Amino acid sequence: MAVSDHVDLNTFIEGVKRRNPGQPEFVQAVQEVAEDIFDFIQDKEAYHQAQILRRIAEPDRVVSFRVCWQDDKGNIRVQRAWRVQNNNAIGPYKGGIRFHPSVTESVLKFLAFEQTFKNALTGLPMGGGKGGSNFNPKGKSDGEVMRFCQSLMTELYRYIGADIDVPAGDIGVGGREIGYMFGQYKRITNEFTGVLTGKGLEYGGSLIRTEATGYGATYFLQNMLKTQGKDIAGHTAVISGSGNVATHAAEKVTMLGGKVLTLSDSEGFVYDPDGMTQEKIDWVKELKNKRRGRISEYAKEFKGAEFHAGKTPWGVKCDLALPCATQNELLGPDADTLIRNGCIAVSEGANMPTNLDGVHKFKAAEILYAPGKAANAGGVAVSGLEMSQNSARISWKEEELQRLLVDIMAGIHARCEEYGKKPGSKVVDYVKGANIAGFKKVADAMLAYGVV
Ligand code: NDP
């Protein structure tokens, strides 16, 4: 598997490790993509000559900065924040902002790298970026969150813009945080532009943006099942997380006739043998968004439901699995358990929730397995549509946006099939398909620019 400068996959990965010490999540993400890309570019000299893979795996820039804010008791608090601008070959940098104590430069570099391929897969003109801070919004008052968001934007505003870099929400960043950040951007620059997506409907947000990631992951699942003449209706589903992506995936699976058995958070999971109804899911949304409570409360509210502290839900027997919480939450042994229990399809709402061992197991078992960069692209796709609406200063109707989301997810599925179908077989390697389709679009644009 030699390339023109005699670098093989292992040497390439060793180089990535050497250049990015102490950044395991970033190395993991690059390795997963490189495994497929090395095969694909083997006989494509132009990509080798231009060192495209090496260049994509090096962010355009990483901005790191201090964020000071004052808590309700008057204490001065200091946080660290970053914006990783990975690649803008096909459009302005685009990707969410995450607030979570586990945020590091490595986590954001992995997310920005993945985002580059995901955004290319949507077919929309968006480059890849990601940002965030180790700030923990849990337990903070609205005033504290506002002061933190304003302080963060007082520095971040220099690096972003509607045609430069357009952040959105992610873990710990929802409508409230986007509102505070957009308000501060507008105040500093005196400009009302589409510089952030996921905005409120009153000030330039798009309909269905909130639902889009979870709904999209479910549509992707539906597309995969269709290739085997199957459907979501009548099947059981295990979902992790209980935030934006998880609750909307649960909602769409339920709407399509599936039976959702679990949701979770970082303290454990709830198992509801009767399945979750729309009413129960609405209750979880209210719990998480308004009361900012814990998923364990579900078991106290709904008869028959059980809370399993400190556990992930992958041991619950199911037909379908949707990991929708965070990275590396589904490990090799969990993949073994799901396969053994008869799970036929996995659609990732979260980014890189399955570790490399688990990915290899799903691939070997040849079950339907969609990586996050394909399955959860619905969110950024509708963010792209929000950018278009902002530029044109119009708002599209909900039915139109719903139709576009369904079409975009079908398009991503078709692109994955095109590059991921195993020769002489009906099996599709969706990881490979997503990696190659995303890479090709970005790589071809980079080739056109020459050495920049
Ligand atoms: P939210 O903050 O709304 O919800 C996150 C959920 O995951 C919460 O239930 C949270 O539990 C749980 N969680 C977070 N960290 C951990 C952890 N270390 N272990 C166990 N559970 C954890 O985030 P989103 O729903 O927006 O994001 C979820 C995933 O989807 C992320 O991987 C994100 O990158 C990805 N994604 C999100 C998009 C979006 O549009 N929002 C778009 C594409 C991908 P707790 O409350 O206990 O922390």
pLDDT in tens, 310-355: 999 999 999 999 999 999 999 999 999 999 999 999 999 999 999 9
Distance CA 248, CA 245 (A): 5
For ligand 1, pick from 177, 245, 296, 412 the residue to mutate: most ligand atoms within 8 Å of CB. 245
Residues 6 or more apart whose CB falls under 8 angstroms from that of 21 comprise none
For range 386-398, the mean pLDDT: 97
The encoded tokens of residue 400 equal: 């139109």
Which residue has tokens 């005699």? Answer: 6
Distance CA 162, CA 231 (A): 40
Higher pLDDT, 411 or 424: 411
Q: In which band, very low, low, confident or very high, does the pLDDT at 385 lie, cut at 50, 70 and 90? A: very high
pLDDT at 6: 54
- Average pLDDT of the chain? 96
The encoded tokens of residue 350 equal: 């979260």
14 pLDDT higher than 70? yes
For range 425-442, the mean pLDDT: 96
Distance CA 386, CA 383 (A): 5
Choose the weakest-confidence range: 5-14, 129-138, 179-188, 413-422: 5-14
Ligand 1 site residues (CB inside 6 A) read 102, 169-172, 213, 241-246, 265-267, 324-326, 329, 349-351, 376, 379
Compute the distance from residue 255 Cα to the ligand 1 centre, in Å: 22
For ligand 1, pick from 244, 267, 288, 314 the residue to mutate: most ligand atoms within 8 Å of CB. 244
Q: What's the Cα-to-Cα distance from 2 to each of 28, 37, 302, rounded to whole Å?
A: 21, 13, 58
Strand ranges (E), 128-195:
128-133, 165-168
Say which DSSP state 422 is in.
P
Compute the distance from residue 145 Cα to the ligand 1 centre, in Å: 18
* List of domains in the chain: 9-56 (no CATH), 61-194 (3.40.50.10860), 210-370 (3.40.50.720)
Q: In which band, very low, low, confident or very high, does the pLDDT at 7 lie, cut at 50, 70 and 90? A: confident
- pLDDT tens digits for 216-244? 999 999 999 999 999 999 999 999 999 99
pTM of the entire predicted model: 0.95
Distance CA 136, CA 79 (A): 10
Residues designated as active site: 130
Residue with CA nearest ligand 1 atom 35: 350
